[in-house]
Amino acid sequence: MDFFLDMKTIILSLVVGHLFTVILISAYWRNHKKDAKINAFFFAKCTQALAWLFLALRGGVPDAISISLANSLLFVGAALETIAVLMLLQAFNPITRKIYGILTAWNMIGFHLIILFCNAENIRIAFASLGTALFIFIPTYKLFKESGSSLLMKIIGSLYLLVIVALLGRSVAAVLSGSSMGLFTPGLSQTLSFLSLYLVMILGNTGYVLLLKEQSDRDLVRLASLDDLTGVLNRRTFIYRARKCIELCAKRKAPITLLLFDVDHFKQINDTYGHVAGDYVLRDLTQKIMRQLAPDDLFGRYGGDEFAIILPGQDELKSSRLVERIREAAFEMSNANVTVHYTLSVGMLTVVPDRQTELESLYLSCDKALYQAKRNGRNGIARAVSEA
């Protein structure tokens, strides 16, 4: 049975696949022209489609186009595509920009030196395969090692790793087997090569779209969960997560502490320095407090200058030490030649919750303690007594 595939059919299918991707991205791109990662991926697909079209014309056009220009475009397209993935992972920085500039120049110069001094197709294949594998290495590493990598990221990273292994194997096989590994030499290796290229195209296009969708979903969740001004949890999200936290501590019979606090004389700050200064005070406050909190602690803005913190697993002693560290922090905001010193009043409550413990009752107790702290002269702490 003949398993060999027509070379021009496979190449044209690659061209069509990239063109369809370009068309779909174009429809999306019209409203996202300022998005660098979309732009990079769009131009990567355009470059790759043009490169494969030139390769399909081999024999009918000069080698300078079907070999030199086509492979140069493939290198540029591969670089742009991997850069787009790095941008999506927020890992494209001056260092990676320099690395990919050097890699692209190295691949293009090295490929043309081979054409000039040792123009054998198997050597070109070996070099191009190795160069492409180097392009993919950093995104593959980032997909695995990125903090909070999702299952999708790890699956795509695994597929990228498989592509790297296949490219390295193809590079070695091309050197060892000689001319029989040529892309335009009929045989099983040609069929496997083009099937691999087709799968890589599907992986690159589909994987990128899925990663982009996942990032968009994360951004939407973040925007819906966080307070616009301070970056801490908004009231709705804080209440939802706090209830879950209380349930978990009740199951574990672990203590939990609720803090409720606000900025002393905040209205006076706004009236004296303006609301812009007041906003800077709230941002300064939250940034300094977040540095004191553990990853499992919950920090939310209830409204205005009132904030709440949930400390799961912290008893009275540990929570009191944390509050003292917070109060000892230098609460001073300096901006636009304006320096504002401010203090906090804190109400707090520590309980070992059970199934009947409700956040609302803890909040009311802390709210009473907060007002007691203000009656005591502000810039202090008042601890509520558990009624449980």
Least confident window among 17-21, 34-38, 178-182, 223-227:
178-182
Is the per-residue pLDDT at 289 higher than 70?
yes
Which of 49, 65, 57 is closest to 204 using CA atoms?
49
Phi and psi angles of residue 226, each rounded to the nearest 5 degrees, phi first: -105, 150
Q: Where are the beta strands (DSSP E) in 136-242?
A: none
386 alpha-carbon distance from chain centroid: 42
Read off the tokens for 307. Answer: 């904030």
Cβ-based burial of 248 (10 A; exposed 0-12, middle 13-18, buried ≥19): middle
Could you report the per-residue pLDDT of 258-272, keeping only the tens digit for each?
Answer: 999 999 989 998 988
Q: What is the pLDDT of residue 140?
A: 92
Q: What is the mean pLDDT of residues 218-242?
A: 88
pLDDT (average), residues 14-23: 74
Contacts (Cβ under 8 Å, ≥6 apart) of 316: 255, 257, 350, 383
Long-range contacts of 198-202, Cβ-Cβ distance < 8 Å, separation of 24 or more = 198/10, 198/13, 198/14, 198/17, 200/163, 201/14, 201/17, 201/18, 201/48, 202/17
Higher pLDDT, 243 or 49: 243
Q: Are 257 and 326 in contact (CB under 8 A)?
A: no
In this prediction, residue 388 carries a pLDDT of 47
Q: What is the DSSP letter of 328?
A: H
> Which residue type sits at 373?
A
Residue 125 is predicted with a pLDDT of 85
pLDDT at residue 311 in the model: 94
Q: How far apart are CA 7 and CA 187, in angstroms?
A: 10
Q: What pLDDT is attached to residue 1?
A: 41
CA 91/CA 145 separation, integer angstroms: 11
Residues sharing a CB contact under 8 Å with residue 134, sequence separation 6 or more, in sequence order: 103, 107
Q: Tell me if residue 171 falls in helix, strand or coil.
A: helix
Q: Return the structure tokens found at 220.
A: 């939407």
The pLDDT confidence band at residue 15, using thresholds 50, 70 and 90, is confident
> CA distances (Å), 181 to each of 16, 53, 170, 186, 198, in order?
25, 21, 9, 9, 17
Half-sphere exposure of 64 (CA within 13 A, CB side): 1
Give residue 178's pLDDT band: very low, low, confident or very high (50, 70, 90): low
For residue 3, name the pLDDT band (cuts at 50, 70, 90): very low
Mean pLDDT of the residues in the chain = 84
Q: What's the start-to-end Cα distance of the chain, in Å?
A: 79
Q: Is the pLDDT of residue 363 over 90?
A: yes
Confidence label for 99 from pLDDT (cuts 50, 70 and 90): very high
Q: What is the pLDDT of residue 8?
A: 65
CA distances 290 to 116, 149, 312, 374, Å, are 60, 23, 15, 23
